[in-house]
Amino acid sequence: MPWNTFEIVWLFVLIFCFIAQMLFYWIVVAKPFQYMKSIASMEFQQASGQPPVSVIVSIKNSQPDWKQSLQDILEQDYPAFEVIAVTDKISYTNEDELIRMKNRYPNLYTTHVPEDTKNVSRKKLALTLGIKAAKYELLLFTECDCHTRSKDWISLMSSHFSDKKTVVLGFAAFENPSGLRYNFATYDYFFSNLQMISFALFNHPYSGNGRNMAYSKKHFIKHKGFIKYRTLQQGEDDLFINEIATDENTAIELSPQSVTLTEINENTDWRQFKLDRMSTQRFYQRGPVAFHRLEAGIRITFYTALVFCFFSGGSYASFEDFLLPGTALVCFIARFVSQLFIINKINDLLQLKKFYLELFFFDLFQPFVNLYFFMYSVLKRQENYTYRYEK
**pLDDT per residue over 11-28, tens digit each?**
999 999 999 999 999 999
Helix (H) or strand (E) holding 82: strand 81-88
Query: Cβ-count burial of 261 within 10 angstroms (0-12 exposed, 13-18 middle, 19+ buried)?
Result: buried
Q: Which residues contact 272 (CB under 8 A, 6 or more apart)?
A: none
Q: Are 66 and 50 in contact (CB under 8 A)?
A: no
Q: Are 196 and 209 in contact (CB under 8 A)?
A: yes
* Dihedrals phi, psi of 284, to nearest 5 degrees: -70, 170
Strand duo 213-216 + 260-263: pairing: unpaired
The whole-angstrom separation of Cα 251 and Cα 236 is 19
Whole-prediction pTM: 0.92
Which pLDDT does position 4 carry in this prediction?
A: 75
The whole-angstrom separation of Cα 200 and Cα 31 is 10
The whole-angstrom separation of Cα 68 and Cα 243 is 33
Q: What is the DSSP letter of 170?
A: -
Which pLDDT does position 247 carry in this prediction?
A: 95
Which pLDDT does position 1 carry in this prediction?
A: 53
Q: Which residues contact 144 (CB under 8 A, 6 or more apart)?
A: 57, 58, 59, 60, 63, 65, 66, 69, 70, 85
The whole-angstrom separation of Cα 196 and Cα 287 is 12
Q: Please check whether the domain covering 48-281 is classified as CATH 3.40.50.880.
A: no
Which pLDDT does position 369 carry in this prediction?
A: 95
**According to DSSP H, which parts of the chain are helical?**
5-23, 31-38, 66-74, 92-104, 122-133, 153-158, 180-201, 217-222, 238-244, 270-280, 286-311, 319-350, 358-379
**pLDDT per residue over 368-389, tens digit each?**
999 999 998 888 777 777 754 3
Which pLDDT does position 200 carry in this prediction?
A: 97
Q: Are 226 and 235 in contact (CB under 8 A)?
A: yes
Q: Are 98 and 85 in contact (CB under 8 A)?
A: yes
Q: Are 232 and 385 in contact (CB under 8 A)?
A: yes
Helix (H) or strand (E) holding 55: strand 53-60
Which pLDDT does position 389 carry in this prediction?
A: 39
Low-confidence ranges of the chain (pLDDT < 70): 1-3, 40-49, 62-64, 267, 313-321, 387-391
3-class DSSP string for 290-337: HHHHHHHHHHHHHHHHHHHHHHCCCCCCCHHHHHHHHHHHHHHHHHHH
Q: Where are the domains of the chain?
A: 48-281, 288-384
Using left for φ > 0, alpha for ψ between -120 and 50, and beta otherwise, residue 52 falls in beta
